[in-house]
Amino acid sequence: MTLDMNSIIPQLQAVVGAEYVIHKPEDLIVFEYDGSVDRALPTVVALPDSAEQVSECVKIAERSGLPIVARGAGTGLSGGAVAEHGGLVLAMTRMTRILEVDVENRVAIVEPGVVNLHLSEQVSKHGLYFAPDPSSQRACTIGGNVAENSGGPHCLAYGVTTNHVLGLEVVYADGGIEWVGGIHRESPGFDLRGIIIGSEGTLAIVTKIAVRLLRQPEAVKTLLAVFSELDDASAAVSGIIGAGIVPAAIEMMDELCISAAEAAVHAGYPEGAGAVLLVEVDGLAEAVEEEVAAVEEVCNLYDPLEIRTATDPVEREKLWSGRKGVLGALGRLAPNYLLVDGTVPRTRLVETLSRIKGISERTGYPIANLLHAGDGNLHPSVLFDERKPGDTEAALKIGGEILELCVEVGGVLSGEHGIGLEKQEYMPLMFTDADMDVMARLRPSFSTNNIFNPGKIFPTGASCSDIRQMAAAIQRAGPGAYV
């Protein structure tokens, strides 16, 4: 089908306003990438301001055969917001309203463009907060969090996005607007809410989100445990969980991350450390004191250089500033990084990190290790320079080797960033033909006509290596099932 953009653009302008339709090539460049290494130029971008406008834009695209990619802040790290096949990008960043806060029932209804941190700031006056806290929470949007089922440092104790979303208003491929789930903790029938969360925009476009809010804890303490060796820090993580302690968060940073973060934000991390653990404990004051003492006791078994405890909010924020700012700080070490998002059993952390170190030494590419260590979610960042011929390809190959390692030791391909473009060719490492066959049937059941975020999650054959050919399930599902 030949697209008549001279007809489509005025139709979109009539829905959202001429100033909110972007189609000049020099303006579209802003939307060609997210936080991954993938890039592709959309055909046109529209910025709707309501579910009704989203619906009308979807109808226009569906009639025209134009692929649709819903996009939030573009902080995703797997290529999920990249319009690989061109088409219409629906940027949801005008839909930023917090529509309702029910303090008594601890529920808020928000639009998808609400920045994650802004919700917690807004409800803090009621003694409430929104628990999922991706490292990009100062920029990332809740709609994007829903699409990727994002986690964050505190997902160890509080779970990821799906554990805090009660219901969704969505727009389907025919433009229909419906709610799935609701504002209550349990809803009868199939859990369509759970299916859509983490589906990376391939099944429906989310236009409202009912989220669960939590009470702010009575007390919070943050410990910084400093180790000379990465292996000791890794072993301490397993020791803490093995002792039956489940803190709110256990984060780990290696020497490269420490040096970059300290130079950028001056968080007070010590020089010369091989690794640091940030352990946060919250709850009732008496319980926090007991748990902090237990964490310190375990850490002392693994030869720490020092252990600090921060109780003052300013001091705690300073310690966390290094962790939250480390990815941006890696730009001090290299122009680019490829951040891998595999998850492994905690008991295999020492082995896995040791083998990642071996990969770095063998290939000559530095790898900075940042971990949601409490739940085994690795974020090794391969440092490279895309301006050097072959560097990007080498980084991608190293990233793939790390993903294969994660699956080999009993882990998974993604802890929170999604599959997107980055990991699609590795899906057969985890899933059988039968698994893929069942998953392939979801899109047809939602009648998406393959217009929502095509080419994401499942192998297309376009980038698979000779040893990782397209799964037979793709062929059985029929042409176009995945793209």
**What residues does 91 pair with on adjacent strands?**
71
Digit-by-digit pLDDT tens for the chain (483 residues) are: 568 899 999 999 999 999 999 999 999 999 999 999 999 999 999 999 999 999 999 999 999 999 999 999 999 999 999 999 999 999 999 999 999 999 999 999 999 999 999 999 999 999 999 999 998 999 999 999 999 999 999 999 999 999 999 999 999 999 999 999 988 877 788 899 999 999 999 999 999 999 999 999 999 999 999 999 999 999 999 999 999 999 999 999 999 999 999 999 999 998 889 999 999 999 999 999 999 999 999 999 999 999 999 988 999 999 999 999 999 999 999 999 999 999 999 999 999 999 999 999 999 999 999 999 999 999 999 999 999 999 999 999 999 999 999 999 999 999 999 999 999 999 999 999 889 888 878 889 999 989 999 999 988 754 433 323 333 333 333 433 333
User: Distance between CA 136 and CA 127 in Å, rounded?
Assistant: 23
Q: Which of 248, 213, 217 is nearest to 122 (CA)?
A: 213
CATH class of 219-408: alpha beta
Strand segments (E) across 145-259 = 165-171, 177-181, 205-212, 214-215, 219-227, 249-254
User: Distance between CA 420 and CA 406 in Å, rounded?
Assistant: 18
User: Distance between CA 421 and CA 79 in Å, rounded?
Assistant: 5
| Residue 269, amino acid | Y
H or E element, residue 392: helix 391-408
H or E element, residue 333: none
For the chain, what percent of residues have pLDDT higher than 70?
Answer: 95
**What residues does 377 pair with on adjacent strands?**
343, 372
Average pLDDT, the chain: 92
- Give 293's contacts (C-beta < 8 A, 6+ positions apart): none
Per DSSP bridges, beta strands 304-310 and 249-254 are unpaired
User: Distance between CA 4 and CA 120 in Å, rounded?
Assistant: 44
User: Distance between CA 136 and CA 152 in Å, rounded?
Assistant: 9
What would be the CATH architecture of the domain defined by 98-215?
A: 2-Layer Sandwich (3.30)
Handedness of CA 131, 135, 139, 143 (dihedral sign): negative
Strand segments (E) across 260-376 = 275-283, 304-310, 336-339, 367-372
Alpha helices in 243-312 (DSSP H): 255-265, 285-299
User: Distance between CA 88 and CA 451 in Å, rounded?
Assistant: 10
What would be the CATH architecture of the domain defined by 5-91?
A: 2-Layer Sandwich (3.30)
Residue ranges per structural domain of the chain: 5-91, 98-215, 219-408, 424-477
User: Distance between CA 340 and CA 377 in Å, rounded?
Assistant: 10
- List pLDDT tens digits, range 41-92: 999 999 999 999 999 999 999 999 999 999 999 999 999 999 999 999 999 9
User: Distance between CA 64 and CA 3 in Å, rounded?
Assistant: 7
User: Distance between CA 204 and CA 286 in Å, rounded?
Assistant: 46
User: Distance between CA 100 and CA 120 in Å, rounded?
Assistant: 13
User: Distance between CA 23 and CA 224 in Å, rounded?
Assistant: 49
